[in-house]
């Protein structure tokens, strides 16, 4: 079921793009022109699906295999659309070049004083800027994000390019749909009108740079399960000035209808600011998203957590749901960096099926083999990993070498969404 949901986005993308190309397939003309037109519609279709995939609705995400899958395909389709749309005018001009070089030049030239050409190029330039910002490692996330968001404008501008070329029959309704999608994302999600109101009930300091925040709903609540994450935007309180941006945080404890908890590590401006949050601060919450720790097989379970990656496992343990033998391996640089250790020890003492292994790694990367003593049934195990990307990569390589199939390894990635 989980794998079927993950296939739904590629199936949706392929069907939509194929339908559009089938409808617009050009009869006759030079081959380069035909390919150019097909690439134009392919790029247009991929951009529309990519736009649809930015909707952060919990129910939609559950059907489409999760927010991470949606965002992965959103990026892939955006990149592929850019390549197709860049090739589109080049092939059209190339088709005219042998017989009518002037016409070929006018098709490409931004100096030809024609709105159809200008809007086409404008759409490509917006795409280029947005994608450039996305892949640029140098720009701060805060700057990268609005430039990337401007990518959404490339779709209506590209569609206006088609309308100006006189192709308005399927394009006008498509333009309308793209504007509705953009408006939904902006109003419901970025401005938070689709989010639920919560309030900070209590705050507990976990370490020098981590606080645990308990959130209570002011009305309807999200149905958060251990292993899931929520998008939370903190507003301003009496003394606290919230950054009011939605950031993803894994649920560290599910308190049923009465709310949930998140642990926040100071990593950048917004999360540093959250360290001084106080009870009574209003928040808006979207979610819950994700299916990490959902439906584990009945084989021995190995949970491998690094640093903040302990939160999904902690939530499941706090919920008291452990019905199969589980080894929790928690890695941290030094004792001072370990989070929730007292809670984990107390839970382990009360749960006979849980084996807790605390590993202080020092400053060097841990050798994965060293955390599995000879008695561990690694060959039959199922592995759940949450932590920094280098740790996950090292363990994945090690487990593959030990013959563990990919379907028995599950990850939660804390990278940018
Ligand atoms: C699924 C998921 C679950 C997460 N769970 C937790 C958690 O339980 N506790 C916790 O402390 N952190 C968690 N994070 C990471 C947390 O969202 C980022 O640390 C936070 O958004 C940083 O915001 P900032 O403005 O303080 O930092 P910035 O200065 O903007 O960035 C600091 C770092 O965080 C990354 N980052 C910034 N914004 C986001 C974003 N919206 N999504 C993801 N990464 C971002 C940046 O790329 C950069 O590496 C999670 C991330 C994901 C994707």
Q: What is the pLDDT of residue 417?
A: 62
Percent of the chain predicted with pLDDT > 90: 56
Question: 365 pLDDT band (50/70/90 cuts)?
Answer: confident
Question: 326 pLDDT band (50/70/90 cuts)?
Answer: very high
Q: How far apart are CA 159 and CA 77, in angstroms?
A: 17
State whether the beta carbon of 142 lies less than 6 angstroms from ligand 1.
yes
| Nearest protein Cα to ligand 1, atom 6 | 249
State whether the beta carbon of 101 lies less than 6 angstroms from ligand 1.
no
290: nearest Cα among 76, 74, 65, 73:
65
For the segment 328-339, what is each residue's pLDDT rounded down to a tens digit? 999 999 888 899
Residue matched to tokens 């134009």:
40
Q: Which residues pair with 248 in a beta bridge?
A: 231
Strand pairing report for 247-254 and 260-265: antiparallel
| Nearest protein Cα to ligand 1, atom 51 | 414
For the segment 143-193, what is each residue's pLDDT rounded down to a tens digit? 888 888 888 888 899 999 989 988 877 789 899 999 999 999 999 988 889
State whether the beta carbon of 311 lies less than 6 angstroms from ligand 1.
yes
Q: What is the pLDDT of residue 2?
A: 64
State whether the beta carbon of 308 lies less than 6 angstroms from ligand 1.
yes
* Residue 270 predicted with pLDDT over 90: yes
DSSP 303: E
Q: Burial, 68: exposed, middle or buried (Cβ in 10 Å; 0-12, 13-18, 19+)? A: buried
Q: Which residues pair with 213 in a beta bridge?
A: 203, 262
Q: What is the pLDDT of residue 415?
A: 66
State whether the beta carbon of 260 lies less than 6 angstroms from ligand 1.
no
Which atom of ligand 1 is the closest one to the Cα of 210? 11
Q: What is the pLDDT of residue 1?
A: 59
| Nearest protein Cα to ligand 1, atom 27 | 268
For the segment 47-66, what is each residue's pLDDT rounded down to a tens digit? 999 999 999 899 999 899 88
For the segment 102-149, what is each residue's pLDDT rounded down to a tens digit? 888 887 887 777 888 889 889 989 988 888 887 777 777 778 888 888
């Amino acid at each position: 079921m989980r794998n079927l949901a993950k296939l739904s986005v590629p199936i949706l993308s392929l069907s939509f793009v194929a339908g559009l190309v089938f409808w617009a397939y050009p009869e006759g003309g030079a081959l380069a022109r035909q390919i150019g037109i097909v690439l134009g519609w392919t790029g247009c279709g991929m951009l529309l699906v990519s736009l649809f995939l930015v909707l952060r609705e919990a129910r939609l995400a559950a059907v489409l295999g999760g927010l991470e899958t949606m965002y992965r395909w959103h990026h892939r389709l955006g990149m592929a659309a850019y390549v197709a749309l860049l090739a589109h005018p080049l092939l059209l001009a190339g088709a005219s070049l042998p017989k009518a070089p002037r016409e070929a030049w006018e098709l490409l030239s931004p100096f030809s004083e024609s709105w159809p050409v200008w809007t086409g190029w404008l759409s490509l330039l917006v795409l280029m800027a947005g994608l450039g910002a996305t892949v640029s490692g140098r720009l701060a996330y805060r700057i990268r994000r609005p430039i990337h968001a401007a990518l959404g404008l490339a779709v209506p501008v590209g569609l206006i390019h088609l309308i100006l070329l006189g192709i308005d029959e399927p394009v006008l309704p498509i333009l309308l749909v793209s504007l509705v999608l953009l408006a939904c994302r902006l109003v419901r999600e970025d401005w938070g009108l689709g989010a639920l109101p919560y309030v900070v009930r209590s705050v507990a300091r976990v370490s020098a740079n981590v606080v645990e925040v308990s959130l209570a709903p002011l009305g309807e609540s999200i149905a958060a399960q251990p292993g899931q994450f929520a998008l939370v935007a903190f507003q301003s309180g009496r003394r606290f000035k919230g950054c009011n941006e939605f950031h993803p945080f894994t649920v560290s404890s599910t308190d049923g209808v009465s709310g949930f908890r998140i642990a926040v590590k100071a990593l950048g401006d917004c999360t540093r600011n959250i360290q001084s949050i106080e009870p009574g601060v209003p928040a808006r919450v979207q979610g819950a998203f994700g299916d990490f720790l959902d439906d584990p097989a009945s084989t021995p379970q190995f949970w491998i957590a690094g640093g903040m990656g302990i939160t999904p496992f902690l939530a499941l343990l706090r919920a008291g749901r452990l019905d199969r033998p589980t080894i929790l391996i928690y890695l941290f640089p030094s004792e001072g960096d370990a989070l929730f250790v007292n809670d984990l020890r107390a839970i382990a003492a009360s749960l006979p099926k849980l084996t807790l292994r605390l590993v202080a790694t020092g400053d060097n990367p841990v050798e994965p083999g060293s955390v599995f003593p000879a008695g561990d049934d690694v060959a039959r195990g199922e592995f759940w990993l949450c932590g920094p990307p280098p740790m996950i990569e090292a363990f994945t390589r090690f487990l593959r070498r030990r013959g563990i199939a990919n379907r028995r390894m599950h990850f939660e990635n804390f990278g940018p969404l």
